[in-house]
Structure 1
Amino acid sequence: MHPFTKEVVSILKEIPQGKVVTYGQIAKLAGNPRGARQVSRILHSMSEKHSLPWHRVVNAKGEIVIANPEIALQQKLLLESEGVELINDKRVDLSRYQVGTMDE
């Protein structure tokens, strides 16, 4: 596994329940601030294999951006089951739910 990929997987596993992070935030923590799209690909290809909490990752605006409506609904329901409230069924208040550092 590529070192960046390994670091992303490790970071993803540390996202606490009821919190979210952004694609860019993970990329930066993993050592590639411009690697948000890579984070998306890693989530898409490795979430099931590594039991990653993919639903806790949103875009920089706090929005659910998955194009597939069924999977986007699944993400919404999973977040809500963890106590995360969504605005207009698609946006998370980052000031309230975003992990500031992975030490939280």
Structure 2
Amino acid sequence: MQLYWSANSTHKNPEYFPEPQKFDPSRFEGSGPSPYTFVPFGGGPRMCPGKEYARLEILVFMHHLVKRFKWEKVIPNEKIVVDPMPIPAKGLPVRLYPHQV
């Protein structure tokens, strides 16, 4: 007997991810999903090598975002709350302006 597991099936299981078809990044805030319920690159010795490529792509994207745009806080004097770490009370909304060439 062989047993096959599909990460896609787990990722779309409403028991682990309510409204799995809905784009909801907030589901990964805090402690995030339960262990082994979100494994987009697999795990162990046969983990997808694309994991490091994806991580590198995100770093390159962030580099260009920081270097090519001026960042301005939308709420300049926003209150800071401590819960347990100091964070802006309303997140950190920003406006991005392209640097002038």
Q: TM-score, normalised by structure 2?
A: 0.23
Higher strand share: 2
Which structure ranks higher in relative contact order (CA pairs < 8 Å, sequence separation ≥ 6)? 1
User: Which entry has the higher C-alpha Rg, 1 or 2?
Assistant: 2
* Length-normalised TM-score, structure 1: 0.23
Higher fraction of helix: 1
